[in-house]
């Protein structure tokens, strides 16, 4: 009996999760990636001067990332993430004061509330205001999917949501707003509250480790590089340098045109029982050719228009090589600054890395600045937060801009699409799919698993 064939277009975490899940259950999978390597918007490259692997942005996982860790287990890479036992974060506030937010190993939400109450980074009035979130966190923990309107009404921003729940301004500026910015890649004044509440709910669902942070102990390429071997071992096929377009005829898929480095034009459509499109939202409009729509997107037109109208939100990373170690921690939060986090890659990865990475999320202003200005900003931030850095010399700087790092979560954005489409046996995956989560690796992996489950249901129908 010939195994059913599924084509997955896009080799980021969403596409890889779908492909690995299907291949592991006996489905013949072909994964097509337009670029020369897998990973999508979570990728790595070799710095030509130092020879070190550099991530295109520092990604942080959380203990509650069930789908991400399920994917990492499936490809044998779970051990490559260093996960805290409980949440512990060192902060340096704008005045240079150090503090550590350390959560006890209590049942959620008591662990988070207890950690805030014992945190010396804010005053006692600010800490006490966290108690008002206790009942909300309990409700958020019990919800699967989107929070109900009672928790996050449509159109409400994170800032308004925090104010409505009586959160002290100092606690917002030191904790909630940096958390929202890191998780949503958009400022609390702009971002919709619903995905933020969903993130808080996730943190409450994972037991005592749910809110703990996990940092990849290897370059990102190592987390997903093994996935292609898993797919190949299961009888699938991973093709990079393969630009794909989906050929439609009304409500059905004819096949997938594939162009690679060796072909001068599109080949004949490759047929599949199911096609999963797992490309970023900004690549969607160019993907479809409907023979009944004069080569236009056909029934995918409305979705393509929504994708075109979806604004991006950028991330900027500044990598600095010093003549000595400068950070006493693996990472530190720098609230109230344009670059909000600093990571010591040697402490995280080991001797194969020697740079410090500063990250600015929701970087709409930063992304337009010059490399020289960003490098100077990063160095000024570190010297201001850690006076000992003033004695160190910078050997190299490398700025990485991701202008379309994630889709914007501003409340005015178009609605996100479901997994299914108006075309039979054509499915969607990607962090843009409406999982209720922001544009994170967890959202991507969840969407990939949903697409794989939907594909299996379609294949079972014959």
- For the stretch 284-332, pLDDT in tens is 999 999 988 888 888 999 999 999 999 999 999 999 999 988 899 999 9
Laid out side by side, the sheet with 88-92 consists of 98-102, 88-92, 331-333, 341-344, 355-361, 312-322, 394-407
Of 452, 461, 447, 462, give the one whose Cα is nearest residue 27. 452
Q: Quote the DSSP letter at residue 207.
A: G
**Can you give the pLDDT at residue 271?**
92
Binning pLDDT at 50, 70 and 90, where does residue 261 land?
A: low
Cα distances from 449 to residues 196, 225, 231, in angstroms, run 22, 19, 15
Q: Say if residue 396's pLDDT is above 70.
A: yes
User: Domains of the chain, with CATH numbers?
Assistant: 5-47+219-310+414-461 (3.50.50.60), 85-90+99-211 (no CATH), 312-407 (3.90.660.20)
How remote is the C-alpha of 39 from its chain's centroid?
11
Question: Who's near 54: CB < 8 A, 6+ residues apart?
Answer: 44, 45, 46, 47, 219, 319, 355, 398, 400
Mean confidence (pLDDT) of the chain = 91
pLDDT digits (tens, 9 = 90+) for 60-113: 999 999 999 999 999 999 999 999 999 999 999 999 999 999 999 999 889 999
Buried b (16+ CB within 10 A) or exposed e, 436-447: bbbbbbbbbbbb
Binning pLDDT at 50, 70 and 90, where does residue 338 land?
A: very high
**Can you give the pLDDT at residue 175?**
97
């Amino acid at each position: 009996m010939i195994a059913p064939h599924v084509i997955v277009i896009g080799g980021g975490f969403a596409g890889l999760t779908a492909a690995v899940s299907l291949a592991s259950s006996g489905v013949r999978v072909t994964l097509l990636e337009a670029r020369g390597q897998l990973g999508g918007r979570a990728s790595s490259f070799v710095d030509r001067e130092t020879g070190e692997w550099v991530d295109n942005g520092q990604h942080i996982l959380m203990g509650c990332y069930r789908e991400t860790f399920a994917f990492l287990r499936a490809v044998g890479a779970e051990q490559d993430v260093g996960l805290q036992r409980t949440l512990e974060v060192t902060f340096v506030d704008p005045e240079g004061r150090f503090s550590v937010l350390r959560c006890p190993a209590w049942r959620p939400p008591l662990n988070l509330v207890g950690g805030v109450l014992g945190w010396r980074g804010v005053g006692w009035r600010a800490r006490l205001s966290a108690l008002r979130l206790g009942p909300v966190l309990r409700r958020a923990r019990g919800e699967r999917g989107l929070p109900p309107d009672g928790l996050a009404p449509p159109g409400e921003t994170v800032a308004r949501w925090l104010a409505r729940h009586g959160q002290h301004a100092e606690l917002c500026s030191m904790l909630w707003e940096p958390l929202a910015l890191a998780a949503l890649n958009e400022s609390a004044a702009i971002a919709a509250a619903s995905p933020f509440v969903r993130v808080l709910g996730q943190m409450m669902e994972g037991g005592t480790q749910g809110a703990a942070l996990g940092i990849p102990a290897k370059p990102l390429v190592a987390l997903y590089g093994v996935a292609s071997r898993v797919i190949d071992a299961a009888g699938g096929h991973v093709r990079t340098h393969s630009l794909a377009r989906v050929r439609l005829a009304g409500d059905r898929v004819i096949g997938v045109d594939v162009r690679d480095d060796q072909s001068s034009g599109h080949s004949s459509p490759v047929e599949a029982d199911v096609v999963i499109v797992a490309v970023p939202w900004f690549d969607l409009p160019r993907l479809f050719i409907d023979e009944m729509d004069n080569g236009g997107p056909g029934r995918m037109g409305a979705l393509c228009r929504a994708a075109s109208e979806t604004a991006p939100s950028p991330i900027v990373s500044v990598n600095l090589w010093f003549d000595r170690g400068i950070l006493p921690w693996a990472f530190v939060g720098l609230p109230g600054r344009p670059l909000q986090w600093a990571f010591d890659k040697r402490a995280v990865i080991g001797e194969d890395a020697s740079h410090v990475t500063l990250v600015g999320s929701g970087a709409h202003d930063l992304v337009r600045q010059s490399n020289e200005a960003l490098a100077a900003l990063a160095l000024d931030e570190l010297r201001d937060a850690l006076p000992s850095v003033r004695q160190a010399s910078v050997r190299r700087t490398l700025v990485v801009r991701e202008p379309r790092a994630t889709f914007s979560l501003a409340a005015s954005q178009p609605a996100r699409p479901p997994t299914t489409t108006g075309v039979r046996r054509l499915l969607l995956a990607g962090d843009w799919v409406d999982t209720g989560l922001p544009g994170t690796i967890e959202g991507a992996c969840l969407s990939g698993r949903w697409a794989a489950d939907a594909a299996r249901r379609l294949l079972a129908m014959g």
